[in-house]
């Protein structure tokens, strides 16, 4: 059960951040779906819901998604459906039920860097930065590489607009379980590809060597699939073995290429 001694309905990002850094046991509340599964006693729970951070805006060069935006908003938003073949909407549309997706937030998901996340590999395969109260703006890829969890607040994510198209592949044992493996392929208007692999089960990573081969040869070959399965670090967990993940990543890439080419 989620427990806390004090509650702060923040009236500004500054006050939320100042409260957060006062005590190691202070926390930011997202939709609390994940927090409620734990059993930790927190000091002050900081609520961002009065800070107008639930938005999806299209500007000239970027899409801006606020931290308190729900997965349901990602799923149904017409702006997101009209960019990148709608992969941002598609990657969340099957996560549990509508009630759940109405509750969980983008900020909590990206900030927590969950390995099993369906959203993070999609954002990684696009040009995404995270805007942090405390830490400024950094590339999502660099943020994910950090091993420590910062004492910051994720304010929004920014995605560079482009004509990229993409495909999201996921394999799950049952529809409502976490993914066994996620793979995202994007292709921009200059035929440059990006490949992100998540639920390895570790945090999502870019398959840089495979991307280099694909971008230089523009050919689908066995070398491509072998390179992917060798370069990504897979591990075993209760959902699948390392060997199984290594085997299916090739099929997933093949399927994604068929959709994107
Ligand atoms: C039963 C269950 C099944 C799930 N299945 C899937 C799945 O199949 N696929 C998938 O992709 N995801 C899945 N998720 C994860 C889910 O999509 C969310 O990523 C997760 O619940 C966190 O979102 P939340 O809003 O509930 O966060 P919370 O529980 O509110 O917070 C989680 C953490 O993030 C911190 N936090 C919250 N907001 C911010 C912020 N703005 N800045 C900094 N820190 C912040 C909190 O302090 C806390 O440490 C599942 C979660 C649950 C509980």
- pLDDT, residue 239, reads 96
Return the domain boundaries, the chain: 3-47, 56-160, 165-260
Q: What is the rounded distance in angstroms from the CA atom of residue 51 to the CA atom of residue 209?
A: 42
Ligand 1: list residues with CB < 6 Å.
27-35, 37, 67, 95-96, 104-105, 107-109, 111-112, 114, 116-119, 153-154, 178
**Ligand 1 site-directed mutation target among 24, 28, 36, 89, most atoms within 8 Å of CB:** 28
If we measure between CA atoms, which residue out of 96, 2, 80, 94 comes closest to residue 40?
A: 2
Distance 210 CA to ligand 1 centre (A): 30
- pLDDT, residue 249, reads 98
Asked if the peptide bond before residue 211 counts as cis, ω within 30 degrees of 0, the response is no
Distance 135 CA to ligand 1 centre (A): 20
Residue at token pair 């951040």: 17
CATH topology of domain 165-260: Enolase-like; domain 1 (3.30.390)
Report whether 97 contacts 129 (CB < 8 A).
no
Q: What is the rounded distance in angstroms from the CA atom of residue 183 to the CA atom of residue 163?
A: 20
**For residue 2, which phi and psi values (nearest 5 degrees)?**
-75, 125
Distance 92 CA to ligand 1 centre (A): 13
pLDDT tens-digit series, residues 55-94: 999 999 999 999 999 999 999 999 999 999 999 999 999 9
Q: How much is the mean pLDDT over the chain?
A: 97
Is 90 exceeded by the pLDDT of residue 245? Answer: yes
pLDDT tens-digit series, residues 182-228: 999 999 999 999 999 999 999 999 999 999 999 999 999 999 999 99
pLDDT tens-digit series, residues 24-58: 999 999 999 999 999 999 999 999 999 999 999 99
pLDDT tens-digit series, residues 146-167: 999 999 999 999 999 999 999 9
Is 90 exceeded by the pLDDT of residue 1? Answer: no
Distance 105 CA to ligand 1 centre (A): 7
Is 90 exceeded by the pLDDT of residue 231? Answer: yes
CATH architecture classification, 56-160: 2-Layer Sandwich (3.30)
pLDDT tens-digit series, residues 96-145: 999 999 999 999 999 999 999 999 999 999 999 999 999 999 999 999 99
What are 93's two structure tokens? 């549309």
């Amino acid at each position: 059960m989620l427990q806390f001694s004090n509650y702060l309905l923040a009236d500004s990002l500054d006050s939320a951040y100042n409260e957060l850094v006062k005590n190691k046991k202070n926390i930011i509340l997202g939709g609390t779906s994940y927090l409620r599964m734990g059993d930790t006693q927190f000091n002050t729970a900081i609520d961002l819901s009065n800070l107008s951070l639930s938005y999806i805006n299209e500007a000239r060069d970027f899409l801006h998604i606020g931290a308190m935006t729900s997965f349901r908003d990602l799923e149904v938003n017409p702006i997101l459906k009209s960019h990148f073949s709608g992969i941002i909407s598609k990657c969340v549309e099957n996560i549990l039920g509508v009630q759940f997706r109405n509750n969980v937030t983008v900020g909590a998901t990206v900030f927590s860097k969950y390995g099993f996340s369906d959203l993070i590999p999609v954002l990684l395969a696009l040009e995404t930065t995270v805007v942090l109260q405390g830490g400024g703006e950094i590339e999502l890829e660099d943020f994910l590489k950090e091993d420590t969890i910062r004492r910051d607040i994720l304010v929004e994510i920014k995605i560079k607009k482009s004509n990229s198209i993409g495909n999201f592949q996921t394999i799950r044992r049952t529809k409502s379980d976490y993914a066994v493996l996620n793979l995202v392929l994007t292709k921009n208007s200059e035929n440059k590809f990006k490949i992100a692999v998540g639920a390895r089960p570790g945090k999502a990573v870019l398959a840089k060597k495979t991307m280099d081969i694909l971008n230089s040869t523009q050919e689908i070959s066995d070398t491509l699939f072998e390179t992917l399965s060798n370069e990504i670090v897979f591990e075993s967990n209760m959902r699948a073995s390392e060997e199984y993940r290594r085997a299916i990543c090739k099929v997933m890439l093949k399927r994604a290429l068929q959709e994107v080419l």
